[in-house]
Amino acid sequence: MKQIPTMTPEQAANRLRELGMRTSPARIRQGIRDGVYPFGVAIRVSDRRIEYEIYGKQLDDWIEQRAIDLEHREK
């Protein structure tokens, strides 16, 4: 059986901050709405409310493309 793991903008921001990226949940939300971050979607559920789906695998892939290994970089 397969799953599609998702997370909140808060969880995604925390994960990225742990990797050294200066970001916030609000920045993640805006980046998804602007199409800058391809790892999630914004869904308008009412006139005043937008929900976000951030896909764990897509976020992992995005991180892998950008992350550097500090151990190898410092040598």
pLDDT in tens, 6-18: 999 999 999 999 9
Q: State the residue range of the domain holding 25.
A: 6-66
**Residue 30 within a domain:** yes
Q: What confidence tens digit (pLDDT) does each residue in 29-42 have? A: 999 999 999 999 99
Residue 51 lies in a domain: yes
The per-residue pLDDT for 20 is 94
Which residue, among 74, 73, 64, has the nearest Cα to 16 in the 3D structure? 64
Q: Which pair of structure tokens corresponds to residue 8?
A: 């909140």
- Residues 55 and 63 sit within 8 Å (Cβ to Cβ): no
pLDDT of residue 68: 84
Q: Report the number of distinct structural domains present in the chain.
A: 1
pLDDT tens for residues 21-73?
999 999 999 999 999 999 999 999 999 999 999 999 999 999 999 988 776 65
User: Would you say residue 29 lies in a domain?
Assistant: yes
* Within a domain: 40: yes
